Amino acid sequence: MPQSMPRAPILLTAAVKYLEEELLPTLSGYHRFQTRVTANVLNIVRRELELRASQAAAERERLCALVGHDGEVEQLSDELCGMIRGGAIELDDARLRAHLRQSLADALAINNPKWPSG
Amino acid sequence: MSDDDVQLRLEAALERHTGRAAKVYGVQRLTGGANRTTMAFEASGAGDGDTRRGYILQIGAQVLDPIEALPQASPAEQARLMMAAAQTGAPAPTVVAILDSADGLGEGYITERVGGETLGPRILREDRFAAARRAMARQCGEILAAIHRVDPAAAPFLKRQDAAEHVAAHRSVVDSYDFKLPALELALRWSAEHAPRGHRLAVLHGDFRTGNLIVGEEGIRCVLDWELGQIGDPMQDLGWLCIRTWRFGGAGPVGGFGAREDLFAAYEKASGHAVDPAHVRFWEAFGNVKWAVDCLLLGTRGVEEVGIERSAIGRRIEEPLWDFFNLIEGREA
């Protein structure tokens, strides 16, 4: 991310504000629906920029503990997939379940924060 | 194809298939599903005498890169399935014509139009549907029992998968996209280990849920979208109807409107087959896995071309997986 201001999340907030507060009331039918979806997608990107870096750091620590060595998130996660599939870890392993639950909660905090309590 | 062309071709098609000269009016494109075009029109002559009636033209666009592992009925097969289901008392659309290449309209079919509401949020929230909502869990049980009575020999073209094979098919689809998500891996392995064995096989609707039902103030009038018709474990249809995605925020685990007990009791009474709630619960859990795989496909396949609505569905994959873990860990979903 460049150091120039305003930061990307602020730009996205302004874009969403325009779409929702000024453009949407003038639209109906197809374009109203598409514009709602567009605002939703911009909000997803904004939350990803705000939340993902710290989530990924915590996810990497959990993955290192489960897989048993250090590495990058994506590579460790793929390795965990192989362990689950190959039976190298029990499906009811409490640490595994806690990790999956936290990872899903993290993703939902970006993609659809209302879902877990809905 | 211009709307005038469509009108002329519809008139010719109705005459070819019904044997009566027809006049077509007011062809109108409706919002269709992702893979097809739906048009509404009126015609006189095709039905009884000169009365104008509403019809629906459904044309399936060519499915690019079809997923061979999963059930997918062609438009002509859907029409034949709807005709077979109507015979056993299910409120399927009445098929007027199955189109062929001589009609020049594409692969599809014409049905009589049924009035009513399909949008889940409206059916689940508007006061005028309050009586319908109270009746619908029972109706769903009765309708599913009727669909499951269809003789598989009347629909030999349907893909046949028992529970374990249906799970394995979804496993293979995920593999073919080389997509790796640990929660999905666990869900697929759990599903393979818990798939019911030795269940009976029946003709299924495959996508029986709020959103695919035409509802009037008195209740369900018609069941739409038969393209996932298949032969499989009948409890699949009951579980799919209960997953949270199809509740659209409504109260009641059955489709956002009803109670499982009412659905199960009506199904048992109409079908003569006992419903084991734990068996349905497997299909609720696996229904969530199926929807997660659908999200993966919608968010992956040709995503640069499909537009923002379908792309955004890809970002919904964690919703059903969250609910899957709630189900298998004994929390309500």
pLDDT tens string B96-110: 999 998 999 889 999
Least-confidence region, from B55-69, B178-192, B266-280: B55-69
pLDDT at B33 over 60: no
- Closest partner residue to B183 (CB to CB) among A78, A104, A112 is A104
Question: Which residues, at least 6 apart from B40, have a Cβ–Cβ distance to it below 8 Å?
Answer: B26, B27, B28, B30, B54, B55, B56, B57, B113
CB of B111 closer than 8 Å to CB of B225: no
pLDDT confidence band for B321 (50 / 70 / 90)? very high
Mean pLDDT of A60-89: 96
* B281 or B21, greater pLDDT: B281
CA distance A85 to chain B (A): 6
Average pLDDT, chain B: 92
Cα distances from B99 to residues A74, A86, B78, in angstroms, run 49, 48, 12
Inform me whether the C-beta atom of residue B332 falls under 8 Å from chain A C-beta atoms. Answer: no
CB of B231 closer than 8 Å to CB of B265: no
CB of B283 closer than 8 Å to CB of B236: yes
Integer Cα distance of B266 and B49 in angstroms: 39
ipTM of the complex: 0.95
pLDDT confidence band for A10 (50 / 70 / 90)? very high
pLDDT at B303 over 90: no
CB atoms within 10 A of CB B197: 7
Q: What is the pLDDT of residue B280?
A: 98
Mean pLDDT of B37-41: 90
pLDDT at B2 over 80: no
Interchain pair A81, B321: CB under 8 A: no
Q: What angle do CA B304, B305, B310 make, to 5 degrees?
A: 85
Inform me whether the C-beta atom of residue A91 falls under 8 Å from chain B C-beta atoms. Answer: yes
Length in residues, chain A:
118
Integer Cα distance of B74 and A35 in angstroms: 33
Q: Over the stretch A30-62, which tens digit does the pLDDT of each residue have?
A: 899 999 999 999 999 999 999 999 999 999 999
Interchain pair B182, A103: CB under 8 A: yes
In chain B, which residue's Cα lies nearest the Cα of A89? B186
pLDDT confidence band for B62 (50 / 70 / 90)? low
Closest CA to B184 of A64, A110, A84: A84
Inform me whether the C-beta atom of residue B193 falls under 8 Å from chain A C-beta atoms. Answer: yes
Integer Cα distance of B329 and B324 in angstroms: 8
Inform me whether the C-beta atom of residue A65 falls under 8 Å from chain B C-beta atoms. Answer: no
Q: What is the pTM of this model?
A: 0.93
Amino acid at B317: I
Q: To the nearest whole percent, how much of chain B has pLDDT over 70?
A: 95
Interchain pair A103, B183: CB under 8 A: yes
> Helices then strands (H, E): number in chain A?
4, 0
User: Which residues of chain B neighbour A77 with C-beta distances below 8 Å?
Assistant: 180-182
Q: Over the stretch B128-155, which tens digit does the pLDDT of each residue have?
A: 999 999 999 999 999 999 999 999 999 9
* A1 or A62, greater pLDDT: A62
Inform me whether the C-beta atom of residue A103 falls under 8 Å from chain B C-beta atoms. Answer: yes
Integer Cα distance of A76 and A71 in angstroms: 6
Interchain pair B308, A81: CB under 8 A: no
Inform me whether the C-beta atom of residue B316 falls under 8 Å from chain A C-beta atoms. Answer: yes
B309-313's contacts with Cβ under 8 Å and 24+ in sequence apart are B309/A33, B309/A34, B309/A37, B310/B34, B311/A41, B312/A37, B312/A40, B312/A41, B312/A44
CA distance A5 to chain B (A): 28
